[in-house]
Amino acid sequence: MNAAMRGTGRIRRLLAILPGDRAGGAEAHTLRVLDAAARAGAAITLAASPALHPALAGPGRTLLDLPLAWRRGLPARARQAQAEAARAAIAAAGADAALLPLPWPDQAGGALEALAEARLPTLVVAHLAPHGEAPPPGLDEPTLAAARAARAAWIAVSAPTARRLERFLGLPPGRVETVPNGVDPAPPMDRAASRAALRAEHALPPDRPVALFLGRLEEAKGADRLHGLAEGFARRCGGAVIAAGEGALAESLRKATPPGHPLILPGHHPRPAALLAGADLLLMPSRLEGAPLAFLEAATHRLPVAASHAALEALGTEAARYAALADGEDLGEMADAMAACLAPAGPAAARAEAAWRLATAWDAEAMAAACLARLRRLVAAGG
């Protein structure tokens, strides 16, 4: 790239290196930023392992099939394998800049090593970071050195994730900026028709309360709590919990759920907006969240939310303004919070309205523009 191009910060060719092994929130966020870059005139290349390709394919996107997915085990071996694949991606793309999503802090040591060697301006976007003091096992010293050496701008989707990432990577306080994730406005929906269709689909009475769990069936999302929460919700109001998603716990949950149980496990749903429009509340019993996308999507529908404190950590001390909060370890307290969301007026309605105002302010297009602006500043800086 010549000096004039560096000075403007214009990005003609953008490379995304994806270290994940499944499509999730980090990959969806990446595509949103890439689409904004494409509309601004950048040619887009994505390098990823084959498992991700169906979710990444799209008009105008060049896909590189490379073994970039992080492999648990010996960090040195995993880093070296990923670095070789990342070097191949960098050579093939001929890019002016790169985008590197971090689903987890230690999943991109090899990619960081290759990007640091190439001195390629890179936007690193962190989506999750664990609680506690112990760093993730893949963060060995060469990875930390690559993080320090990379010509990178660092972003996290929530302030708690930013602070934990700084600590784990040994970055200076404030080095990781926060750009909150965003969602699109809710599509127009006939709420009465959506409610009737959701209950008919699952053979539920038309007036039966429904709490919706939307996300991966994993311990981090609190999916192992769903049986107890569904039973507690049923005892309080006769309700049911529909848990839409797949994940590591899906099979064990299905085996442990007899017919007629108030927990319903339909699997992945292609149109989550229809579920949100048909439910009475969103349930978030998570142990760990980055940007609470399910919460924001529910908020665009003015749907009340019952959540653990950890689920809405990103909202800080203001979280209680937007959702009925409870101790995620106390299933009775969580079930009480779920039942409280059914009140047609009062605190539940006020929280849903406040959450709607928050979600409309966290616009997905503005999020993508902020990420690209940070990358352009890095490109313009040169050096």
CATH number at residue 163: 3.40.50.2000
CA dihedral 76, 82, 83, 87 (to 10 degrees): 170
Beta bridge partners of 124: 100, 154
Instruction: Name 307's bridge partners.
Output: 284, 325
Residue 35 has pLDDT above 90, yes or no: yes
**Residue 337, φ and ψ in degrees, nearest 5:** -65, -40
Statement to judge: residues 197 and 343 lie in one domain: yes
User: Residue 10: pLDDT above 50?
Assistant: yes
Largest CA distance in the chain: 68
DSSP code string of 354-376: HHHHHHHHSBHHHHHHHHHHHHH
Please check the confidence at residue 22 and state whether its pLDDT lies above 50.
yes
Sheet strands side by side (includes 43-48): 61-65, 43-48, 13-17, 97-102, 122-126, 152-156, 176-178
State the pLDDT confidence band at 362, using cuts at 50, 70 and 90.
confident
pLDDT at position 189 over 70: yes
**Are 241 and 262 spatial neighbours (Cβ–Cβ below 8 Å)?**
yes
pLDDT score of 14 = 98
The interaxial angle of helices 159-169 and 141-149, nearest 10 deg, is 120
Structural domain boundaries, residue 215: 191-361
- The predicted-structure confidence for 363-372, as pLDDT tens digits, reads as follows 899 999 999 9
Q: Are strands 305-308 and 324-326 parallel, antiparallel or unpaired?
A: parallel
* Model confidence at 88: pLDDT above 80: yes
For residue 275, the model assigns a pLDDT of 96
Q: Enter the pTM of the model.
A: 0.90
Residue 200, pLDDT > 60, answer yes
pLDDT over 90 at 41, yes or no: yes
Sign of CA dihedral 123, 161, 221, 194: negative
Specify whether 37 is located in the same domain as 171: yes
Residue range 250-284, pLDDT digits in tens: 999 999 999 999 999 999 888 899 999 999 999 99
Q: Please give the pLDDT value at position 74.
A: 86
Residue 186 exposure: Cα atoms within 13 Å on the Cβ side? 24
Predicted pLDDT of residue 7: 53
Query: What confidence score (pLDDT) does residue 345 get?
Result: 79
pLDDT in tens, 169-183: 999 999 999 999 899
Confidence of residue 346 (pLDDT cuts 50, 70, 90): confident
What CA–CA distance (Å, rounded) separates 23 from 21?
Answer: 7
Mean pLDDT of the 91-120 span: 97
Q: How far apart are CA 333 and CA 287, in angstroms?
A: 15
Rounded distance, CA 290 to CA 158, Å? 6
Residues 168 and 283 in one domain: no
Query: What are the tens digits of pLDDT across the range 119-152?
Result: 999 999 999 999 999 999 999 999 999 999 999 9
Asked whether residue 351 falls in the same domain as residue 377, the answer is no
In this structure, the answer to whether residues 262 and 373 fall within a common structural domain is no
What pLDDT score does 5 carry? 44
208-240, pLDDT tens digit by residue?
A: 999 999 999 999 999 999 999 999 999 999 999
Q: Tell me: do 301 and 232 sit in the same domain.
A: yes
Q: Provide the CA 298 distance to its chain's centre, in angstroms.
A: 15
- Beta strands per DSSP E along the chain: 13-17, 43-48, 61-65, 97-102, 122-126, 152-156, 176-178, 210-214, 240-244, 263-264, 281-284, 305-308, 324-326
Query: What residues have CB less than 8 Å from 355, skipping those under 6 apart?
Result: 295, 298, 299, 302, 305, 322, 323
CA separation for the pair 33, 29 (Å, rounded)? 7
State pLDDT tens for residues 46-74: 999 999 999 999 999 999 999 999 988 88
Number of compact structural domains in the chain: 2
Shared domain check, 177 and 85: yes
Mean pLDDT in the chain?
A: 94
40 and 94 part of one domain: yes
Round to whole Å and give the CA distance between 216 and 243. Answer: 9
Please give the pLDDT value at position 142: 96
Query: 351 and 299: one domain?
Result: yes
pLDDT of residue 1: 44
With 80 as the cut, is the pLDDT of residue 304 above it?
A: yes
Give the model's pLDDT for residue 2. Answer: 42
| Structure confidence at residue 356 (pLDDT) | 95
Instruction: Please check whether residues 282 and 354 belong to one and the same domain.
Output: yes
Confidence of residue 102 (pLDDT cuts 50, 70, 90): very high
- Amino acid 383: pLDDT: 54
pLDDT value of residue 87 = 98
Compute the distance between CA of residue 312 and CA of residue 294 in angstroms, rounded to an integer.
10
Give the pLDDT band of residue 3 (cuts 50, 70, 90).
Answer: very low
Helices then strands, counting H and E runs in the chain, come out as 15, 13
| β-pair partners for 183 | 363
What token pair was written down for 244? 């839409």
Q: Are 66 and 48 in contact (CB under 8 A)?
A: yes
- Looking at the fold, whether 59 and 144 belong to one and the same domain comes out as yes
Question: What pLDDT does residue 24 have?
Answer: 87
- Which tokens is 280 given? 């009475």
215 and 154 together in one domain:
no
